């Protein structure tokens, strides 16, 4: 008879309503590659979407998502269950994407950007999605990330706190401030059209 690994009590309580997920996680942590693959596949689309929302370039986002899933596969035995599995995976994804951004910023700091930001230039951007991304990109990174996790990934304040390693009050404050600044940016852009 094979020895089974016990899940931490906190994780067991969270997964109690979904025994199939609990069993899949237990099998994944014990090294069963198929279980790891199924578990990661369930989160693949959300991770890819998060990567694109942060990196803003489809090819880089696809590469990042692949790297993140590979890292999660390799680190699966270290998952302690102190947070939800999705929170753990989002934290890996967010750290990886932010590191990619920092590397790109350092590399691009040597280049001079000469992109016009006139009203006429913006008025050619009729597509609502592009206008939305422009307003979102104008937010400071901590606010933008909190807003993306809340609005587009529907994470709770507690989950966002766990992903970003922030207290609940800070998360609420950032999201409130992000919404306020985003609204101001959006209204200013729409007034220029």
Q: Which domains does the chain have, with CATH numbers?
A: 15-113 (1.10.1740.10), 115-193 (1.10.10.10)
**pLDDT by residue for the chain (193 residues), tens digit each?**
333 444 444 444 444 446 777 788 888 888 888 988 898 899 999 999 999 999 988 999 999 999 999 999 888 888 887 788 889 999 999 999 998 888 776 655 444 444 444 444 434 444 566 778 888 889 999 999 999 999 989 899 999 999 999 999 999 999 999 999 998 988 887 776 5
pLDDT value of residue 66: 94
For residue 38, the SS3 value is: helix
pTM beyond 0.85: the answer is no
- 6/27 Cα distance (integer angstroms): 11
- 165/180 Cα distance (integer angstroms): 23
Contact yes or no for 133/54 (Cβ under 8 A):
no
Contact yes or no for 163/88 (Cβ under 8 A):
no
């Amino acid at each position: 008879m094979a020895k089974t690994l016990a899940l931490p009590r906190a994780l067991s309580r969270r997964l109690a309503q979904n025994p199939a997920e609990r069993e899949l996680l237990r099998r994944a942590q014990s090294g069963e590659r198929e279980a790891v693959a199924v578990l990661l596949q369930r989160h693949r689309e959300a991770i890819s979407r998060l990567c694109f929302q942060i990196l803003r370039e489809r090819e880089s986002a696809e590469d990042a998502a692949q790297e993140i899933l590979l890292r999660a596969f390799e680190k699966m035995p270290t998952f302690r269950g102190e947070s939800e599995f999705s929170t753990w995976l989002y934290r890996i994804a967010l750290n990886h994407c932010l590191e990619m951004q920092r590397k790109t910023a350092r590399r691009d700091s040597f280049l001079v950007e000469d992109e016009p930001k006139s009203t006429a230039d913006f008025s050619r951007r009729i597509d609502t999605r592009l206008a939305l991304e422009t307003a979102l990109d104008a937010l400071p990174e901590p606010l933008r990330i909190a807003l993306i996790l809340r609005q587009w990934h529907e994470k709770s304040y507690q989950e966002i706190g766990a992903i970003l390693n922030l207290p609940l009050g800070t998360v609420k404050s950032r999201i409130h401030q992000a919404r306020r600044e985003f609204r101001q940016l959006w209204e200013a852009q729409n007034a220029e059209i």
